[in-house]
Amino acid sequence: MSQSTNSTAGEPVIRLKDVHKTYFTGELDVKAVQGVTIDIHKGEFVALMGASGSGKSTMMNILGCLDRVTKGDYLLDGIDVSELDRDELADIRNEKIGFVFQGFNLLARTSALENVELPMLYSRHKTYDDREEKATKALELVGLGNRLDHTPNRLSGGQQQRVAIARALVNDPALILADEPTGNLDSKTSIEIMGVFQKLNEQGITIVMVTHELDIAQYTKRNIVMRDGRVVTDKLVTNRLMAEEELQKLKVASEAIQMIPS
């Protein structure tokens, strides 16, 4: 996966400088984000954490170029996105960001392959003559090479999330943005999905993940904790969990349970 040209060695993929977001809802102005400054560099794997109401969803929307900042600067891959209009934001989302959602958000009654092809259909600056080939490769990368023509209702939750991840990375984005990607999955499947992310991250892909689950955050490299719209903790993960090892442990444990005579 080749990275976009704009990120030179020292320049971060994400640079937030004193970012504010205020919702003007008539009587009461809701200050969802109040002065956040973060740099995230290429190859990082970050968990953005916080309780509900901490501002992490707003941060997610801002990072995903779905929403604009009220005050401050947001540079994505070297581009100042705070000044862009709706169309330009759409193009940025298409080219720079791959989304993974909690609810998978695949198009129903549409094959895995077609779902993964979707971002390429909206690409404005690049034309893809090899859409199908690229989509197939992305699906192979997440271990679904044999499920290309399956529609979402014939896939398990974990498989659907893998399709979503394939869709997120098919455009070679600068950043994969995952919003509670394991929120709808059981613990074993969650670990598997974290394994997919870890594998992609090892290949140099930058990942930012919003989660409120502490143990899931342990699979990332860096945890940023928010409260009341501010960053309260920003630390590298010590004792990082590796998905492969954890799955192995689970396997041993379940075998052990089976060996207990009933």
Partner 1 sequence: MRFFAAFRIAFRALLRNKMRAVLTMLGVIFGVGADITTVSLGDGARVMVQQQIATMGENVMLIFAGDFRRGGVSFGSGSSSALTMEDVEAIRREVQGVRNVSPEVSTSRQIIAGGMNTSTSITGASPEYFAIRSWTLKDGAFFTDQDVTTAAKVAVIGATASKNLFEGGDAVGQVVRVSMGGSSGGGSIPFTIIGELNAKGASAGSFRDYDDCLIIPYTTAMKRLLNTTSLRGINLQTETMEVMPMVGTQLTNLLRQTHRISGGRPDDFTIRSQDELATAMSSTQETMQYLLGGVAIVSLLVGGIGIMNIMLVSVTERTREIGIRMALGARPRDVLLQFLIEAVTLSCTGGVLGIGLGMLASKILTQVKNWPTLTSPEAIMYSFAFSVIVGIFFGFYPARKAAQLDPIDALRYE
**What is the distance between the alpha carbons of residues 86 and 70, in angstroms, rounded to a whole number?**
15
* Beta-strand pair 175-179/207-211: parallel
Footprint (CB under 8 A) of partner 1, residues 167-186: 167, 171
Instruction: Burial-class residue 239 by CB neighbours within 10 Å (0-12, 13-18, 19+).
Output: exposed
Name the residue nearer to partner 1 (CB basis): 134 or 167.
167
| Among positions 118, 237, 242, 247, the unique one binding partner 1 when judged by CB under 8 A | 118
Contact 192, 40 (CB under 8 A): no
| Among positions 10, 24, 26, 108, the unique one binding partner 1 when judged by CB under 8 A | 108
Name the residue nearer to partner 1 (CB basis): 205 or 243.
205
| Among positions 6, 20, 35, 66, the unique one binding partner 1 when judged by CB under 8 A | 66
Q: Is 56 in the site for partner 1 (CB under 8 A)?
A: no
Contact 33, 58 (CB under 8 A): yes
Length of the chain: 262
| Among positions 41, 101, 172, 237, the unique one binding partner 1 when judged by CB under 8 A | 101
Name the residue nearer to partner 1 (CB basis): 23 or 236.
23
Tell me the residue ranges of DSSP E strands in 44-168. Answer: 45-49, 71-76, 79-80, 97-100
Q: Which window, 4-12, 22-30, 118-126, 199-207, contacts partner 1 (CB under 8 A)?
A: 118-126
Contact 178, 196 (CB under 8 A): no
Q: Is 25 in the site for partner 1 (CB under 8 A)?
A: no
Shortest spacing between CB 111 and partner 1, in angstroms: 10
Residue for token digits 């705070």?
82
* Beta-strand pair 45-49/207-211: parallel
| Among positions 30, 51, 121, 236, the unique one binding partner 1 when judged by CB under 8 A | 121
Dihedral angle computed from the Cα positions of residues 20, 23, 28 and 29, in that order, rounded to the nearest 10 degrees: 20
Distances (CA, A) of 250 to 126, 188, 256: 44, 8, 10
Q: Is 64 in the site for partner 1 (CB under 8 A)?
A: yes
Name the residue nearer to partner 1 (CB basis): 158 or 173.
173
Shortest spacing between CB 12 and partner 1, in angstroms: 22
Shortest spacing between CB 181 and partner 1, in angstroms: 14
Q: Is 7 in the site for partner 1 (CB under 8 A)?
A: no
Distances (CA, A) of 229 to 4, 145, 152, 195: 30, 41, 36, 30
* Beta-strand pair 97-100/175-179: parallel
Q: Is 105 in the site for partner 1 (CB under 8 A)?
A: yes
Name the residue nearer to partner 1 (CB basis): 94 or 201.
94
| Among positions 27, 52, 109, 255, the unique one binding partner 1 when judged by CB under 8 A | 109
Residues that bind partner 1 (CB under 8 A): 61, 64, 66-67, 86-87, 90-91, 93-95, 99, 101, 105-110, 114, 118-119, 121-124, 127, 167, 171
